[in-house]
Structure 1
Amino acid sequence: MKKIMGSLLSLTMAGILLVGCGNGQNNDSAAGQEQAEGKPTQLVISTWGFSEDFFNKEVYAPFEKEHNVKIVTEIGNNAERLNKIRQGSGNVDVVYLSDYYAQQAINEGLFEQMDHSKIPNVEQVYDIAKAPLGEEYGPAFTIGRLGIAYNPDLIKQSVTSWGDLWSDEFKNNVTTPNITTTAGPMFVSVASTVAGNEQFNEDAAFAKLKELNPGIVKYYGQTSEFVNMFSQEEIAGGPIMEMYMKDLKAAIPNAVFVSPKEGAYAVMNTVNIVKGSKNKELAEQFINWHLSKEVQEKSAKAKVDSPVNTEVVLNAEEADGVTYGADVVNNLLKLDMKFVNDNIKTWTDRWNRELAQ
């Protein structure tokens, strides 16, 4: 009798365990199942692909080791990668996008809403970077600034203002970003400011851009085009993100970066979780890791990304060419990306009609 009861009890417990496993398989993430089997969970990250050696060694590898994860990357520019997510053609968990493109994804419902309490390192981040596109969405993991870079051998005047780009010295000697780039809408805003408006004025902006248009060597679509023209002295300068100064200085060692007196623009690259990710908890842990002082400091010292973590401390040499410090970050101008995305089609049509060469 005892043996029968013992057998029945064993069968009952086994049934409970099997039911438990079945429920877990339905409700838990794929990560839980794989980790239970001792296999690394695959975390798919969509990113640009620059500085891959640094990211593989300093960002991905330590996280893989600690969390039994295998990170797989999908590489491409903002537009290409966003389109893949729109089409549902990948299994992306975490996506890095500039704020301009991230806002489009938010508008289309492509991101999971994020609980920032599960990403505690957000509390160490500059306020401007904590939730640049809304509390429900991801932080910026780096902030750059759009200012003016120029070659002082070709430009003799003191460059202090966005308006200096309209001077005779820059005529036929300047490049500006195309409207389709991340910096394009920022330069439309610049033109409105140079035209004397405190609030954005579209007509005034495009009138001012028309004044500059005859002296533009080329509207650049990729930063590499700016770097190449600058290196060959086809241009004396133009608006560019500070993070590319190391490339400009490699060609022109005395190249100068200016934060214009009207203000430089914040260029924020965000990190978010893709809607439907089976690894949301793991993705949150990864984002928290990327915001940590350890990762942010290494990225800054390697001049890969400017830090958003306020606990990062850099000396003068380490900070050179990096957007760093509260006095710099807190004074950056921030575009309303929802407003930009609501108007970008109109601006692009006007740009192509009135300015395209």
Structure 2
Amino acid sequence: MTQPALWKSVSVLAVAALGLMSAFAGPAGAADKEITVQAWGTTWEQGLQEVADGFEKETGIHVVPVTQSGSSDGLARLQSMADAPKIDVWFSTSSLAARATADRKLFAPIPADKLSNAGSLIDGAKMEAYVAAYYYPLSIIYRPSLVKKPITGWKDLWDPAFKDSLAVPDVETYAGRMLLVAALLNGGSIDNVEPGFKAWKELRPNIAMFYGSDSDSRRALAQGEVSVLVGPPSQAAPLRTDGIDVTVLSPKPSPVMFDVMTLVNTPRQDMALTFIDYVLSPKAQEIISNKIDMGPVNKTVKASPSLAAVLPAVADQVSFDEAKVNAAIGGWNERFKAEIAR
């Protein structure tokens, strides 16, 4: 064999070998096209997994989910790996994100010019270091078969007929919104929660459980341990899937909250931003509204019919200054533990 022919044969073999290696390795760069997203397990299973599947199909970027039982649990995990975070996008409540993202070593700002859907977001959905994935009110969810008459508003929950019947979020869950509702109902405000604590003491005989986990409260309602659950409308979806009839209403005053996405300081920020932007897209927002029963933050997307029926009227909605909530919630929680939860 002549030298040129020999080199040609070697080259062909080398190319073939490289092709074989590529076949086992998958598409070029596939190992690098992956991000890790931390979110609540139920939320992921109900709809975010479907969003992630669509994202991977469209971009080729695989999403590895990491579940958290709550936002505080998720933040603690992130802080434990602060020097080399393994999570690229973290889902959190807006109140906790407002505090956590002050840590600019761990979290990066989210540039609006990197989000093609930023211009379509509802008011309040985009902040410097986090962007909302959806919104929801604090609602009343109850089992009609377990109550004597339909519930029409918040004040009904103080009726002695509901003794030992309510599952209510503790102060840290949903950032004290139930305390603030109680305050507003009785002439108070975020700057004066004294009427709220007084009302909670009067409500205490009716409260069977204060919860910090959505799954615990749903289980209690499903098993008939409580007849009423105070929480977001999304709590109703898995109950209905299990064949349990529940009614949802969002009475005035209706606190509206956001669950948000934060960008963690990792080498995969570009892919993470692409995922965040995809979650804000109309196709993803429709999945979130229809599958998770959350309000879409993209103004071009209508809430699912079932959700639209229970979302509060704009005039009934209330929002609170997250900076004030964050400054006060530690004291509220200590007082809650000492005076209410015991």
TM-score by length of 1: 0.78
Matched, 1:147 2:132: no
Q: How much is the aligned-residue C-alpha RMSD, in angstroms?
A: 2.7
Listed as ranges, the matches of 1:165-176 within 5 Å are 165-176=157-168
Identity across the alignment (%): 25
Return the offset for 1:237: 0.7
Matching residue of 1:88 = 81
Matching residue of 1:280 = 269
2:51–2:287 CA contact under 8 A, matched in 1: no
2:169–2:212 CA contact under 8 A, matched in 1: yes
Given residue 348 of structure 1, which amino acid in structure 2 is its aligned partner?
N
Listed as ranges, the matches of 1:174-193 within 5 Å are 174-182=166-174, 185-193=176-184
In structure 1, C-alpha distance between the alignment counterparts of 2:163 and 2:117, rounded to whole Å: 46
Listed as ranges, the matches of 1:1-357 within 5 Å are 39-50=31-42, 51-52=44-45, 54-56=47-49, 58-77=50-69, 78-88=71-81, 90-109=85-104, 110-129=106-125, 131=126, 134=127, 136-182=128-174, 185-198=176-189, 200-250=191-241, 253-260=244-251, 262-274=252-264, 276-303=265-292, 305-313=294-302, 318-321=304-307, 328=313, 331-357=316-342
Indicate how the Cα distance of structure 1 residues 252 and 40 shifts in structure 2: closer, same or farther if over 3 A, else same: closer
Return the offset for 1:99: 1.2
Structure 2 spans left out of the alignment, 5+ residues: 1-26
Q: Report the more deviating stretch, 164-173 or 148-157.
A: 148-157
1:231–1:252 CA contact under 8 A, matched in 2: no
Matching residue of 1:32 = none
Indicate how the Cα distance of structure 1 residues 120 and 250 shifts in structure 2: closer, same or farther if over 3 A, else same: closer
Indicate how the Cα distance of structure 1 residues 116 and 181 shifts in structure 2: closer, same or farther if over 3 A, else same: same
In structure 1, C-alpha distance between the alignment counterparts of 2:333 and 2:145, rounded to whole Å: 34
Return the offset for 1:150: 2.0
Secondary structure, in 3 states, of the residue corresponding to 1:120? coil
Q: Report the more deviating stretch, 110-119 or 228-237.
A: 228-237
In structure 2, C-alpha distance between the alignment counterparts of 1:71 and 1:250, rounded to whole Å: 26
1:175–1:220 CA contact under 8 A, matched in 2: yes
Secondary structure, in 3 states, of the residue corresponding to 2:136? strand
Indicate how the Cα distance of structure 1 residues 348 and 72 shifts in structure 2: closer, same or farther if over 3 A, else same: same
Structure 1 spans left out of the alignment, 5+ residues: 1-34
In structure 2, C-alpha distance between the alignment counterparts of 1:289 and 1:205, rounded to whole Å: 40
Given residue 301 of structure 1, which amino acid in structure 2 is its aligned partner?
N
2:233–2:293 CA contact under 8 A, matched in 1: no
Indicate how the Cα distance of structure 1 residues 292 and 125 shifts in structure 2: closer, same or farther if over 3 A, else same: same
Indicate how the Cα distance of structure 1 residues 64 and 229 shifts in structure 2: closer, same or farther if over 3 A, else same: closer
Return the offset for 1:147: 1.2
1:193–1:200 CA contact under 8 A, matched in 2: no
Return the offset for 1:198: 5.0
Return the offset for 1:166: 1.0
In structure 2, C-alpha distance between the alignment counterparts of 1:248 and 1:220, rounded to whole Å: 17
Indicate how the Cα distance of structure 1 residues 55 and 256 shifts in structure 2: closer, same or farther if over 3 A, else same: closer
In structure 1, C-alpha distance between the alignment counterparts of 2:239 and 2:338, rounded to whole Å: 32
Return the offset for 1:302: 2.7
Return the offset for 1:254: 4.2
Secondary structure, in 3 states, of the residue corresponding to 1:346? helix
1:93–1:283 CA contact under 8 A, matched in 2: yes
Given residue 178 of structure 1, which amino acid in structure 2 is its aligned partner?
D
Return the offset for 1:107: 3.3
Secondary structure, in 3 states, of the residue corresponding to 2:108? coil
Return the offset for 1:98: 1.3
Given residue 83 of structure 1, which amino acid in structure 2 is its aligned partner?
A
In structure 1, C-alpha distance between the alignment counterparts of 2:267 and 2:140, rounded to whole Å: 43
Secondary structure, in 3 states, of the residue corresponding to 2:124? helix
Q: Report the more deviating stretch, 293-302 or 250-259.
A: 250-259
Indicate how the Cα distance of structure 1 residues 255 and 38 shifts in structure 2: closer, same or farther if over 3 A, else same: closer
How many pairs were matched up?
311
In structure 2, C-alpha distance between the alignment counterparts of 1:300 and 1:179, rounded to whole Å: 27
How big is each residue's C-alpha offset from its partner over 1:255-291, in whole Å with a ceiling of 9 and x where there is no partner? 221111x2222131101111x3212222222111111
Given residue 120 of structure 1, which amino acid in structure 2 is its aligned partner?
S
